[in-house]
Amino acid sequence: MTEPLNPSLVEGTEALARRLLEGDVEPPGGAVAALVAAWAAALAAAAADRSRKGWDGAAGARAQAQSLRARALRLVERGTRAHAEAMETLAERGPQAEACAEPPETRDWRLGQAVREAAQPPLELSACALSVAQLAEVISSQAAGEVRADAAVAAQLAAAAARAGAHLVEINLVVGGDHQPAVHARELAEAAATAAARASALD
């Protein structure tokens, strides 16, 4: 018999929500989106695991979902760090910049570098979330009937994370000038949405 959701998991989520509401941490939109992608991968892995009896590929799908989950969790830290560095560099362009001995062109170059680096984790998040959505679609098509809806939900969550990643890429590159990463991120998000729609149609 499957155990109910561990209350400690809910408590952990509530603790993060309280810290956000109380202003203890800077709102980490990218980090939360990466966590959503990780949860989607975990849900997909669980659906695959519970489909082992009728599907020879269940173990492989589960392993792939677990790998994607680990990838999404790594992006939580990377995205948070890159965002913080970009914000610090941007702050240096404020009123105090006039008193700085660093040439303006050097500051502009450093800002551009920081912006590009900040855009990389959400771009990778969109790619990771697309992989989760596509895998969840496959799992949904093969899963046991009682968990097929879980796989479809995993695909929908992954699609949302992909959209969030694409949005953050666009925001980060507003001052960057190179719009190609934003175009690519939107394409990834659209592909994830398509996979989620197909997964839901199978439900």
**Interval 24-56: pLDDT, tens:** 766 678 989 999 999 999 999 999 999 999 899
7: Cβ contacts below 8 Å, ≥ 6 apart: none
Which residue is associated with the tokens 């912006």?
115
Q: What is the mean pLDDT of the segment spanning 12-19?
A: 77
pLDDT at residue 1 in the model: 44
In a domain, 130, yes or no: yes
Share of the chain above pLDDT 70, in %: 78
pLDDT at residue 155 in the model: 98
Out of 16-20, 59-63, 117-121, 185-189, pick the least confident. Answer: 16-20
- pLDDT band for 11, please (50, 70, 90 cuts): confident
Q: Which amino acid makes up residue 5?
A: L
Q: What is the DSSP string of 179-193?
A: -HHHHHHHHHHHHHH
In a domain, 134, yes or no: yes
In a domain, 111, yes or no: no
85 has a pLDDT exceeding 80: no
83 has a pLDDT exceeding 90: no
The residue that leads in pLDDT, 3 or 58, is 58
Share of the chain above pLDDT 90, in %: 53
- Sequence-ordered strand ranges (E) for the chain: none
With 0-12 / 13-18 / 19 or more C-beta atoms within 10 angstroms meaning exposed / middle / buried, residue 143 is buried
CA distances from residue 86 to 3, 59, 81, 115, 164 in whole angstroms, order as listed: 43, 41, 9, 6, 18
In a domain, 99, yes or no: no
25: Cβ contacts below 8 Å, ≥ 6 apart: 19
Over the chain, what is the mean pLDDT?
84
- pLDDT band for 112, please (50, 70, 90 cuts): low
Number of domains in the chain: 1
**Residues 147-176 as b or e (16 or more Cβ within 10 Å = b):** bbbbbbbbbbbbbbbbbbbbbbbbbbbeeb
CB of 40 within 8 A of CB of 46? no
134-184 pLDDT tens trace: 999 999 999 888 899 999 999 999 999 999 999 999 887 765 556 888 999
pLDDT at residue 100 in the model: 56
In a domain, 96, yes or no: no
Q: Rounded to the nearest 10 degrees, how much is the dihedral formed by the CA atoms of 171, 176, 27, 188?
A: 50
Range of the domain at 41: 31-84+120-202
Please give the DSSP secondary-structure letter assigned to residue 52.
G
User: If you average pLDDT over each of 24-33, 35-44, 73-82, 115-124, which comes out highest?
Assistant: 35-44
Structure tokens at 164: 């969030």
